[in-house]
Structure 1
Amino acid sequence: MFVPITEHDYLCSDMLEGFKIWIHSAEEVPRLKKNFYHAAYDSDVRISVKANLMMTSPSLIKNYSQEQRKCIAENEHNLVFFKRYTQRNCFVDTLALQTNKICGCVLFWMPRLNSTKVCSYYTEYKCVEVVENSLHNANLTTKCLPDCQSITYDAEISMSRIELKPLKNFVPTGFRIIKITVLFKDQQYFASLRSELYGTMDFMGTVGGILSLFMGISLLSVVEIIYFATIRLTCNLQKRNLAKKRMLAQQNILNRQND
């Protein structure tokens, strides 16, 4: 790419020369102020991308609440400005709503309604910074949990300087040159599955195995314990009561004969 020198604005680029690059899903709004890779002018930049897919088992979504499984499933959380829920979209959605509520306006990059005012950099920007800092201090991650099925990208960036002298006949006067190559690191990727570590049957099997190991107990032993604690105990008590009654009857017969 050939970039005119007159197009560069140091105020908008945090005093950096070049481009800010961020690899993200098409469903998310990037925050280049917070996260980005820097590609400087007069350099050859190569970015190797690796995809990470996180999935959640249906049984975990069905049997556990959001707080227990630490993620939000599809259609469980409705955002105001986004159709698709992601953790980053939830941050932006909450920030836009709180900024409009407190400051009466939003920044130009935030999602908004047609009637919402755009904040001025000179008058309302300080208010926007206060709102954003308060949201971060309020631990917004407890409200905006990760989505149960998400895809993220890890990137490795390498940069080398371009010698301009051999290219002086190809680069127009008043322009800067930059070359950016984006490629996948691997031809395939592996998905991660979020599932319960111990279910009800797993817990029962583990407890039974431990009891069998340390006590020699088995299912038949459990039945025997129940038998001796209920049926056998009741039968013994009944036999004892019958024996007492028989002895009393014999004693009464002997007393009558003696009389």
Structure 2
Amino acid sequence: MDSDQLDSNDPPVTGRIKRSTPSKINSLTKPKKAAKKLRRSNSASTLTGLSVVLNPKARQYFISKDNFIGYRVLVHSPYSFAEVAGKGFAVGQNREVFIGVGAQLTESTSKVRQMSIQKRQCIQHDESLEGTGIKIETFSNYSRPSCLLECRAKILYKNCRCLPYYFPNFAKAWKRNTDCDLQGLQCIANSSATLSALSVDANFQAKDDLLEGANCYCPIDCTETVYNQEMSHAKLMDSSRVHKLVLEEYSVAKKLKKLTSNATFSLKKRQVFGERLEKMLEDITLVHIYFKELGIVKYSRDQLYSVMDVIAAFGGIVGLCMGFSLLSGAELIYFFTLRMFVDRQKNIARSKNRGRPSRNNVQTE
């Protein structure tokens, strides 16, 4: 079954509001927030990185997909969809976490970019995909992770007739309803592990031990930044500066602290508020995200051999092994073609000159 084509008999998108789309009522009643400027850092230190205080609200946990209380953290390229559930780091409660970020940049030279896609086997972010056999309908720019995600989504939709709620809004591009019922959720749970893999070549020897995987044609990116991260953590001390900061800045903590000292409430109620505040402080986690080094590793994807390089290498190898070079071949061609032609023309000219009478031999009467 072709994964690039959707069934025309699928039900169209219904008019109900999706979970990830704000309703018109909310957009009218809530004031629009001003656009925030992206912040950058040119240093490598926890002091100048991004520090975030997280409250997992452990008391509200009922049924969780994970077996821990906390969050998952993933550092990824802005061109890629964040697959946090499958690739993120686990960050638990009551911890101070340090996440050091590094990067590797791969760029293609101008010689590589001038080649055809079939020859260079990579695609640029803003390149036209016409005639390549690649169909991207949801993402504005090409990236291999996005291409793989859309390919897997098409296969998953064909098998289960729905997609996970955290996927991008494929329903808008496909004009199909991608919401799941109970049967669809069970189908996704059974298929997700298989679709996380890619199919291998039929000639691969150890194919029996591998998952079938998704059959997707997604070439690598000509320019790609790959982020790597390493994490260390330790338990927060009691009454640390983080707890003091939360009590001073976090609105919920300030309210609970105020309620515990409110004399209008009974002692029992104040104790309940105090327990909630204490439990919240026990759940707090502080995460630092920062650059490990001041620079990154940069690789260049370049043309390995040009036509002149091949000619020079061939001439050198032949000259070393046989005592023959391309220059010798050029001399042979010269002697048997151009030189013979020139010599023949000279001989013809000499013959004509011999047949003409000389001026010195002319007799006058």
TM norm structure 1:
0.76
Shift, 1:147, TM fit = 1.2
Kindly indicate whether the alpha-carbon contact (under 8 Å) linking 2:151 and 2:216 is maintained by their aligned counterparts in 1. Answer: no
- Matches of 1:88 and 1:96, distance apart in 2: 12
The offset of 1:128, in angstroms, is: 2.4
Contact 1:106 1:116 in 2 (8 A): no
Q: Percent identity among equivalent residues? A: 23
**Correspondence for 1:103 among 160, 166, 169:** 160
**For residues 156 and 134 of structure 1, what CA distance do their matches in structure 2 show?**
27
Rounded to whole Å, the distance in 2 between the matches of 1:169 and 1:61 is 53
CA distance in 2, matches of 1:71, 1:9: 46
SS class of match (1:174): helix
Query: Which residue number corresponds to residue 199 of structure 1?
Result: 306
Offset, 1:134: 5.2
Partner of 1:255: none
1:10 and 1:16 in contact (8 A); partners too: no
Per-residue CA distance 1:21-46 (angstroms, 9 max, x = gap): 00012222111222111212121111
Give the superposition deviation at 1:190: 3.5
SS in 2 for 1:34: helix
Change (3 A) 1:24 1:113: same
Aligned to 1:41: 93
Residue in structure 2 matched with residue 238 of structure 1 by the alignment: none
For 2:61 and 2:198, the matched residues in 1 are separated by 34
Q: 1:71 maps to which residue?
A: 122
Query: Residue 156 of structure 1: CA displacement?
Result: 1.4
1:128 partnered with 2:188: yes
1:173 maps to which of 268, 275, 278: 278
- The whole-number CA distance in structure 2 between the counterparts of 1:143 and 1:22 is 25
SS at match of 1:124: helix
What is the aligned-residue RMSD (CA, Å)?
3.1
State the distance in 2 between where 1:166 and 1:135 align: 42
**1:106-185 to 2 correspondences below 5 Å:** 106-111=163-168, 112-114=170-172, 115-120=176-181, 122-132=182-192, 133=194, 136=197, 138-139=199-200, 140=214, 143-164=217-238, 170=244, 172-175=277-280, 176-185=283-292
- Counterpart contact for 2:96–2:233, Cα < 8 Å: yes
Cα 1:196–1:25 change in 2 (3 A) is same
The one-letter amino acid paired with 1:128 is I
Report what 2:147 is aligned to: 90
Question: Are residues 154 and 2 of structure 1, via their aligned partners in 2, closer, same or farther at CA, if it must alter by over 3 Å?
Answer: closer
What is the Cα deviation at residue 20 of structure 1? 0.4
| Cross-structure match for 2:64 | 11
Give 1:81 shift: 0.8
Partners in 1 of 2:67 and 2:221 — Cα distance?
A: 35
Q: Does residue 28 in structure 1 map to residue 135 in structure 2? A: no
1:196-216 Cα shifts (integer Å, max 9, x gaps):
222222111111222333344
Q: Deviations over 1:208-233 (max 9, x none)?
A: 22233334445542232224555678
Q: Gaps (5+ residues) in structure 1?
A: 236-259
| Aligned-partner Cα distance in 2 for 1:47–1:8 | 25
Q: CA separation of 1:192/1:40 partners in 2, compared to 1, >3 Å: closer, same or farther?
A: same
TM-aligned CA distance change 1:64 to 1:202, over 3 Å: farther
1:53 corresponds, among 105, 115, 134, to 105
Deviation at 1:118, TM superposition (A): 1.0
Q: Aligned partners of 1:200 and 1:21: how far apart in 2?
A: 48
Could you state the TM-score of these two structures normalised by the residue count of structure 2?
0.56
Looking at structure 1, the residues matched to 140 and 279 of structure 2 have their Cα atoms a distance apart, in angstroms, of: 44
Take 1:118 and 1:8, find their aligned partners in 2: how far apart are those partners? 24
Residue 206 of structure 2 corresponds to none
Alpha-carbon distance between aligned partners in 2 of 1:211 and 1:52, rounded to the nearest angstrom: 40
| Cα deviation 1:69-128 (Å, max 9, x = unaligned) | 3322232435111111111111221122222233222111122225523113x3212322
Distance 2:339 2:242 in 1: 102
Q: Is the 8 A contact 2:72 2:85 kept in 1?
A: no
